[in-house]
Amino acid sequence: MISDDTILNAASGLRDYTADNLAQMIRIPSLSGEEGPVIGAIEEMARSAGFDEVRVDGLGNLIARVGHGPRVLAIDAHIDTVDTGDLSQWDHDPFSGLIQDGHVYGRGSVDQEGGAASMITAGRILTEAGYDGEWSVYFTFTVMEEDCDGLCWNYLIEQEKLIPEFAVITEPTNLGLYRGHRGRMEIDVAFSGLSAHGSAPERGDNAIYHCSRAALGIEALNDRLAPDPFLGKGSVVVSRFRSSAPSLCAVADGADLHIDRRLTWGETKEVALGEVREIVSGLPSPPGGNAGKPAVSLTMYDKAGYTGTSYPQESYFPTWKIEEDHPLVKAGAATCTSLFKEEPKIDKWTFSTNGVAICGKHGIPTIGFGPGNEIYAHAPNERTPIDHLEKAAAFYALLPYILEEQL
Task: Name the residues annotated as catalytic.
Answer: 80, 145
Residue 371: DSSP 8-state: S
In 10 A of CB 274, how many CB atoms?
12
Please answer whether residues 23 and 104 qualify as being in contact, where contact means their C-beta atoms are separated by less than 8 angstroms: yes
What sign results for the dihedral spanned by CA atoms 383, 170, 1, 327?
positive
Please answer whether residues 125 and 15 qualify as being in contact, where contact means their C-beta atoms are separated by less than 8 angstroms: no
Rg (the chain; Cα; Å): 24
Residues 222-238: b if buried by 16+ CB within 10 A, e if exposed:
eeebeebebbeebbbeb
Please answer whether residues 204 and 195 qualify as being in contact, where contact means their C-beta atoms are separated by less than 8 angstroms: yes
Label the pairing between strands 346-347 and 177-178: parallel
Start-to-end CA distance of the chain, whole Å, equals 14
